[in-house]
């Protein structure tokens, strides 16, 4: 048991080092639940709560599932530094009335292989670690301006042979102030602590507000998030410029991607830490391909790619 505690402590340190992110170094467990899903979201600093427009809304704002005009599939893969990867898949389908929609999603966050150490520091057998989340989501339009949504999640975490699982819930809403201005709000990852054999971890419950405004071919977004467990606040900004209806250029900034206080060197994480950029391309009338790159200073950067496909609609 002592070895497992050491392994978890070592992993926490590696996560904070690799991601350089307050979102992943907060006190609650399962911080991957608060990661942005999709290259579009990553490129816009994660500020997509009011503008999610495909099946990935199951993660960012399930209320927006109700505004889909057809069944959609969405896949996402991210390669972080070291062996950390995140794979995600979602499917959403509106009802025939188009007043509501449901979605299914699955995410797998792999932390790769770790070198085991016992309480004396001697090397032992290597071990793996990974987290998974499976969700059922539902969104409904109450009228032509207001939509509400919810998700029920089954969350599982495993470090070596130590495992924990539990339930979490998201509740969200979306409101169209005008055809060009959208608002959103929600609470995410509410649920009881996950219990391992000898300890428990709190879920990273978060309250969030989002807004977007479109000016011609430019969409501006912003998300404000507050951790209900760690009492930390983050602010994200994003922008998307649509070119000829076929290509989108994106950029964003997230305040939580910088943590200068971790080191005595204020330039330790690089001047571009916190920034994000990316491109989107309409492959066909039904398919979109997106890419994002997040600079991480001396560590290089992280790469994100996603693909969405519409099975009908316009």
* CATH number of the domain residue 111 falls in: 2.40.160.60
Q: How confident is the model at residue 162 (pLDDT cuts 50, 70, 90)?
A: confident
Q: Which residue has the higher pLDDT, 53 or 149?
A: 149
**Residue 87 pLDDT greater than 80, yes or no:** yes
155 phi and psi angles, rounded to 5 deg: -115, 135
Candidate from 45-49, 146-150, 165-169, 192-196 with smallest mean pLDDT: 192-196
Q: Which residue has the higher pLDDT, 28 or 12?
A: 28
> How many independent structural domains does the chain possess?
1
Q: How confident is the model at residue 121 (pLDDT cuts 50, 70, 90)?
A: low
Those residues with Cβ within 8 angstroms of residue 58's Cβ, 6 or more apart along the chain or in another chain? 65, 90, 92, 103, 104, 105, 135, 137, 151
**Residue 272 pLDDT greater than 50, yes or no:** no
Task: Over range 142-160, report the average pLDDT.
Answer: 92
Helix (H) or strand (E) run with residue 76 in it: strand 72-79
The DSSP 8-state label assigned to residue 25 in this structure reads S
What is residue 314's predicted lDDT score, i.e. its pLDDT? 56
First-to-last alpha carbon distance for the chain, in angstroms, is: 56
Which tokens is 186 given?
């929600």
Containing structural domain, residue 292:
2-310
**Residue 137 pLDDT greater than 60, yes or no:** yes
Contact 296, 302 (CB under 8 A): yes
Which tokens is 253 given?
């900034």
56 phi and psi angles, rounded to 5 deg: -70, -10
Contact 64, 48 (CB under 8 A): no
Rounded to the nearest 5 degrees, what angle is found at the Cα of 137, between the Cα atoms of 225 and 287?
A: 90
Q: How much is the pTM? A: 0.83
């Amino acid at each position: 048991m002592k070895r497992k505690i050491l392994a978890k402590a070592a992993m926490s340190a590696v996560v904070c080092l690799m991601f350089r992110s307050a979102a992943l170094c907060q006190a609650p467990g399962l911080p991957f639940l608060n990661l942005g899903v999709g290259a579009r979201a990553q490129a816009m600093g994660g500020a997509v709560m009011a503008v999610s427009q495909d099946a990935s809304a199951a993660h960012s704002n399930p209320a927006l599932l109700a505004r889909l005009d057809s069944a959609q599939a969405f896949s996402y893969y991210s390669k972080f530094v070291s062996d950390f990867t995140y794979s995600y898949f979602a499917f959403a389908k509106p009802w025939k009335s188009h007043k509501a929609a449901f979605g299914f999603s699955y995410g797998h966050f792999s932390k790769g292989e770790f070198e085991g150490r016992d309480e004396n520091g001697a090397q032992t057998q290597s071990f793996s670690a990974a987290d998974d989340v499976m969700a059922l989501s539902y969104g409904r339009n109450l009228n032509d301006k207001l939509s509400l949504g919810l998700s029920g999640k089954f969350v599982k975490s495993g470090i070596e042979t130590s495992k924990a699982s539990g339930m979490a819930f998201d509740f969200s809403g979306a409101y169209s102030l005008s055809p060009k201005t959208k608002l959103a709000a929600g609470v995410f990852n509410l649920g009881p602590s996950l219990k391992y054999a000898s300890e428990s971890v709190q879920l990273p419950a978060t309250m969030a507000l989002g807004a977007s405004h479109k000016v011609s071919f430019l969409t501006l977004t912003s998300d404000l998030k507050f951790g209900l467990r760690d009492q930390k606040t983050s602010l994200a900004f994003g922008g998307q410029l649509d070119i000829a209806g076929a290509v989108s250029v994106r950029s964003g900034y997230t305040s939580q991607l910088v943590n200068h206080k971790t080191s005595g060197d204020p330039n330790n994480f690089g001047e571009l830490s916190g920034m994000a950029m990316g491109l989107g391309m309409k492959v066909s009338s039904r398919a979109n391909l997106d890419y994002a790159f997040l600079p991480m200073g001396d560590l290089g950067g992280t790469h994100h790619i996603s693909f969405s496909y519409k099975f009908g609609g316009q």
